[in-house]
Amino acid sequence: MFSPSSRRQFLQRASGGFGAIALAGLLADTQAAEVRQAAGSPTDPLAPRPGHFPAKADRVIFLFSTGGVSHVDTFDYKPRLVADHGKKISATRWLNKPGKFERFLIRPHWKFQPYGQSGTPVSELFPHLGGVIDDVAVLNAMYCESDGHDKATLAAHTGSAQFARPSAGAWVSYGLGTVNRNLPSFMVLAPHAPYAAGQTWGSDFLPACHQGTHVIPGAEPLPNLRPRTPQPGLQRMELDLLARLNQDHLRQHPADQALDARIRSFETAFGMQREAPEAFDLSQETEETLNLYGINRKTTTGFGWQCLVARRLAERGVRFLELIDVGSSNNWDSHGNMADHARLAKAIDLPIAALLTDLKRRGMLERTLVVWTTEFGRTPFHQQADHAGREHHNLCFSSWMAGGGVKGGVVHGMSDEHGIFPADGKVHTHDLHATILHLLGIDHERLTYRHAGRDYRLTDVAGEVVRPILA
């Protein structure tokens, strides 16, 4: 029950080696490299290849805030909610149960103000993001089916709330490959696992080379990167002998691409040992840049590091980067007290604004799609008038996109007067995924994988590209 030997299956498994590109050249000429290698090596599933049509973006930085961020306290400004604070309404769902519930409207806990030339309203929680809002398209009528953390988090990542499926990053890696084989194609920078843990970045039925590589901020972001030999040079000796033995072996077993791929993967790994730590090493960044990301401020050090490293990895050709701010506990799940939102927003606001600013001044924003989302919003109402917290609200919430092919300074979608239901321009998780793929040059209906007798898609049998926000 192992080891397929057919060529088709071989394509799935050989993902190492094959012409690692020198970093210097890569940084200068990522796109050209992509064009050159468009055909890719037929034996290499991670070889870069073009999408179905010309792409607007080459890569994605997917920011995920765990726990459910309140839309009416961040990006969805509802003056009527302020005016109607404390009023009784009849809610049709409560704690994911349908019915009629008398509930009290709760006003936003923070003030809003218009930012930028576009005048997009943003709350006091995200003043720095407000500063770059003219690059951002806010989606104010997002919705999904599930109001459980686990399921909604899976849906936001895999398109399926119920069953284990490949993550969006794995689909993108499968669809487009990657330009720098010294780094994984899909990397997840997260200090703690979110809900559903590794399933959120799993490859599931896609070949495992497409699964997200979990980078844990700290001394050893990627495991097994440091040589363990008594002296560093000795490892070269080991690999040289290995290469000679493998060449002998290959001579006796000619024309086996898998053997060849395995040989090359050691050279690639040796390259990763050199390059990956360099990507995580911020010592070459200027003081100004470090300050921009808030690396030296206590509250923003963590996410600042994630954002700055994401930029460095994006420069080095990583196809899909996901940044998760907090794990499955102590997160945005403010049932008890919305005051938590202030601390969590403070930790990410400055770094995210810095990321957008930095990408823009380096000319990278144009080809880098930045997405921010969360599993769901929070109820604009509560069982108790004046309750300090909010419950889960999957019927309507906010996300945003910026960069690579996205119109800046626009707000798409509108909720009703109290932010309870989408009123116009609603966007489902499938639509968000379809839009991400579209901007990468992929038709979400044509990116399929045959599994268990069916052609699976990231977007299941749904998904519409959100065209109004396309630049």
C-beta of 113 vs 247, nearer to other proteins: 247
CA distance 70 to 191: 22
C-beta of 79 vs 99, nearer to other proteins: 99
The distance of closest approach from Cβ of residue 230 to other proteins in the complex, given in angstroms and rounded to an integer, is 6
Question: Would you say 381 and 103 are in contact if contact means Cβ atoms under 8 Å apart?
Answer: yes
C-beta of 35 vs 242, nearer to other proteins: 242
C-beta of 2 vs 467, nearer to other proteins: 2
The distance of closest approach from Cβ of residue 149 to other proteins in the complex, given in angstroms and rounded to an integer, is 5
Q: Report in angstroms the alpha-carbon separations of 404 from 58, 233, 249, 359, 437.
A: 8, 43, 47, 11, 11
Tokens 């490293």 found at:
309
C-alpha Rg value of the chain to the nearest Å: 23
β-bridge partners, 411:
138
C-beta of 11 vs 89, nearer to other proteins: 11
Residue 29, SS3? Answer: coil
C-beta of 115 vs 186, nearer to other proteins: 186
Q: Which two tokens stand for residue 67?
A: 């726990």
The distance of closest approach from Cβ of residue 156 to other proteins in the complex, given in angstroms and rounded to an integer, is 14
Question: Would you say 365 and 111 are in contact if contact means Cβ atoms under 8 Å apart?
Answer: no
The distance of closest approach from Cβ of residue 105 to other proteins in the complex, given in angstroms and rounded to an integer, is 18
C-beta of 158 vs 415, nearer to other proteins: 158
The distance of closest approach from Cβ of residue 74 to other proteins in the complex, given in angstroms and rounded to an integer, is 22
The distance of closest approach from Cβ of residue 150 to other proteins in the complex, given in angstroms and rounded to an integer, is 4
C-beta of 120 vs 374, nearer to other proteins: 374
The distance of closest approach from Cβ of residue 99 to other proteins in the complex, given in angstroms and rounded to an integer, is 13
User: Amino acid identity of 215?
Assistant: V
Residue 2, SS3? Answer: coil
The distance of closest approach from Cβ of residue 5 to other proteins in the complex, given in angstroms and rounded to an integer, is 4
DSSP readout, 95-126?
A: TTEEEEEEEEE---SS-EEEETTTTEEEETT-
Tokens 């200068």 found at:
28
CA distance 77 to 54: 36
Burial classification of residue 107, based on how many CB atoms lie within 10 Å of its CB (0-12 exposed, 13-18 middle, 19 or more buried):
middle
CA distance 453 to 70: 40
Going by C-beta distance under 8 Å and a sequence separation of 6 or more, which residues neighbour residue 72?
78, 81, 108, 377, 378, 380, 419
Determine which helix (DSSP H) or strand (DSSP E) holds 271, and give its type and residue range. Answer: helix 257-280
Nearest to 345 by CA among 121, 70, 105: 70
The distance of closest approach from Cβ of residue 421 to other proteins in the complex, given in angstroms and rounded to an integer, is 15
CA distance 356 to 139: 17
DSSP readout, 401-434?
A: EEETTBPSSEEE-EE-TTSSSEEES-EEHHHHHH
Q: Which two tokens stand for residue 99?
A: 């019915």
C-beta of 367 vs 457, nearer to other proteins: 457
The distance of closest approach from Cβ of residue 303 to other proteins in the complex, given in angstroms and rounded to an integer, is 20
C-beta of 55 vs 427, nearer to other proteins: 427
The distance of closest approach from Cβ of residue 53 to other proteins in the complex, given in angstroms and rounded to an integer, is 22
C-beta of 119 vs 198, nearer to other proteins: 198
